[in-house]
Structure 1
Amino acid sequence: MASLQAAKKELRGQIKKVLSGLSAESINKQSATVTKSLLSLPEYQAAKRLSVYLAMPSGEIQTADIVRDAFSQGKQVYVPYIYQLDSVATQGRKSVMEMLALRSVEDYESLQPDKWGIPSLDAGTLATRENCFGGYGLLGLSNPAAEKDESGLDLIVMPGLAFDEKFGRLGHGKGYYDHFIMRSRGQHADATNARRIPYLGKNLCQFPITTCRRLIQSIAALTLEEQVLPPSERVPTAEHDCPVDALIVGDGRVLKRA
């Protein structure tokens, strides 16, 4: 485990160094290419409920135009919100991520940047925002009034720090997305209370998929060309590291798992 963590740390350092040298022009150009590719995917076009990460000002694919297009198409858009747990840490975690709804383009445009420059939800509005699992606010899944057909996600648009052509993903080291995905699957394992969750591929993360309701749901990761490893290299991963279903690259490539 120590060697795995060391390998991840080394790769993160290498990628961050490369990204620090990218110009805003290159990032904007690649972002436009990726956005066009994503919007043309059948999975995106059919999605009624999707989550989209809100990008840092530099170092990753920008997503503002994706959010705007999703609203123009009448889709429901959810964005990440990370918060500290008040109680004893769960599964060794002190903070977790939820996906909460944006209400409109105007709501999105009104978001203020956090200390990393990422547009962020106002904490004072959380209780009135729909949770993608049902209900409102943080841990909305506990709301017994939530209807199963009105919860879940058809598509997750995910960031990452590094990727490989076998759909391996390296995050920033906090594990928020991996934990979110595994928690989703664990909570929906009971077929009598199954809600829609993104389809993650066969035998992913060793959670059963036979009891989960599967529509066209998928995970699409957006990446700059410089974040994709050469074909001969792989992202160092552990069992809890979830691969993605599609990789959309700034050079125009769209890679999809069979």
Structure 2
Amino acid sequence: MAALPLTMIRRMSTNEALRNAKRELRVAVTRSLEALDVESVREQSRTVVDLLTSLPEYQQAQRVSIYLSMPTGEIDTTAMVQDAFQRGKNVFIPFTHKAAPNPTQGEDPKPSVMDMVSLESLEDYQGLKRNSWGIPTPTRKSLETRKNCMDEIKANRDGLDLIVMPGVAFDGECRRLGHGKGYYDYFLRRYSEEAGGKVPFTVGVALKDQFLGSPASIPVGDKDWSLDMILVGDGQVIRR
């Protein structure tokens, strides 16, 4: 068997080191989140919602994507969804599904991808069933009547103005560590390709236990997207 080129060996070594660094950080942050009490998460969520709704980028946005939160371990987005509908915004939520056979250019094939699909009303939101992660999730049958953000862009209609994004950890340079599936990074790459390089304004929301103070930082690779802004449960607002 022919020996691997030195550049490929170095790349493999670098990628493995990056994966290990991310894995170790996820474990450390997850352990700290397990010690959080419900009232702390509730209070920090209220702070973040107040910060978000005061942003001009949010106030001006007509089409927003908001992740639907797990029961614990992250900012609760229920009040964000309620506020968006009260302001007459079009709301989209993440939905993961089996990937199409043709990946984005330069990407390895993925078993599943994330799209943003429309949430029609507060009643629609309240009627969603929770998945195994405890996240309210639309049924596959309901996708027949929901708008898909990517399909809208392909049809030369409006895309998204702003995305509220979750994560395991964040840092002062607006870098984000996700859960390891790459859903948001891959979605933004696909979106950028379809929208001629444009992407929505991205806002990460973090509990204070998920935010790494200086000099700590998130390990990132060339496929990891930085955010435009991070809102932290202790009241910090970080712009890139």
TM-score (norm 1): 0.83
For 1:210, the equivalent position in structure 2 comes to: none
One-letter amino acid of the structure 1 residue matched with residue 67 of structure 2: Y
* 2:143 corresponds to which of 110, 126, 141: 126
In the alignment, the residues of structure 1 paired with residue 147 and residue 27 of structure 2 have an alpha-carbon distance, to the nearest angstrom, of 37
TM-superposed CA distance for 1:123, in Å, is 1.1
Is the 2:149–2:159 contact (alpha carbons within 8 Å) kept by the matching residues of 1?
A: yes
In the alignment, the residues of structure 1 paired with residue 231 and residue 27 of structure 2 have an alpha-carbon distance, to the nearest angstrom, of 22
In the alignment, the residues of structure 2 paired with residue 77 and residue 134 of structure 1 have an alpha-carbon distance, to the nearest angstrom, of 15
Is the 2:51–2:231 contact (alpha carbons within 8 Å) kept by the matching residues of 1?
A: yes
One-letter amino acid of the structure 1 residue matched with residue 194 of structure 2: Q
Is the 1:223–1:249 contact (alpha carbons within 8 Å) kept by the matching residues of 2?
A: yes
Is the 1:134–1:151 contact (alpha carbons within 8 Å) kept by the matching residues of 2?
A: no
Deviations 1:169-222, CA, capped at 9 Å, x for gaps: 100000000000011112233xxxx8x631xxxxxxxxxxxxxxxxxxx10000
Structure 2 matches for 1:151-190, cutoff 5 A? 151-189=158-196
Q: Does 1:37 align with 2:51?
A: yes
Deviations 1:19-45, CA, capped at 9 Å, x for gaps: 011011110000000001000000000
Q: 1:156 to 1:86 in 2, by over 3 A?
A: closer
Structure 2 matches for 1:1-258, cutoff 5 A? 1-85=15-99, 87=101, 91-135=108-152, 146=155, 148=156, 150-189=157-196, 197-198=199-200, 218-257=201-240
Is the 1:67–1:77 contact (alpha carbons within 8 Å) kept by the matching residues of 2?
A: yes
One-letter amino acid of the structure 2 residue matched with residue 186 of structure 1: E
Is the 1:170–1:235 contact (alpha carbons within 8 Å) kept by the matching residues of 2?
A: yes
Question: Where does structure 1 differ by over 6 angstroms across 4 or more consecutive aligned residues?
Answer: none
One-letter amino acid of the structure 2 residue matched with residue 197 of structure 1: V
One-letter amino acid of the structure 2 residue matched with residue 6 of structure 1: N
TM-score (norm 2): 0.89
Alignment gaps of 5+ in structure 2: 1-14
In the alignment, the residues of structure 2 paired with residue 37 and residue 231 of structure 1 have an alpha-carbon distance, to the nearest angstrom, of 22
**Percentage of pairs with the same residue:** 44
In the alignment, the residues of structure 2 paired with residue 76 and residue 162 of structure 1 have an alpha-carbon distance, to the nearest angstrom, of 28
TM-superposed CA distance for 1:6, in Å, is 0.6
Alignment gaps of 5+ in structure 1: 136-140, 199-217
Indicate the SS of the match to 1:133: helix
Is the 1:15–1:227 contact (alpha carbons within 8 Å) kept by the matching residues of 2?
A: yes
Q: Which has the larger radius of gyration?
A: 2
In the alignment, the residues of structure 2 paired with residue 174 and residue 84 of structure 1 have an alpha-carbon distance, to the nearest angstrom, of 13
Q: 1:110 to 1:28 in 2, by over 3 A?
A: same
In the alignment, the residues of structure 2 paired with residue 93 and residue 86 of structure 1 have an alpha-carbon distance, to the nearest angstrom, of 9
TM-superposed CA distance for 1:92, in Å, is 2.2
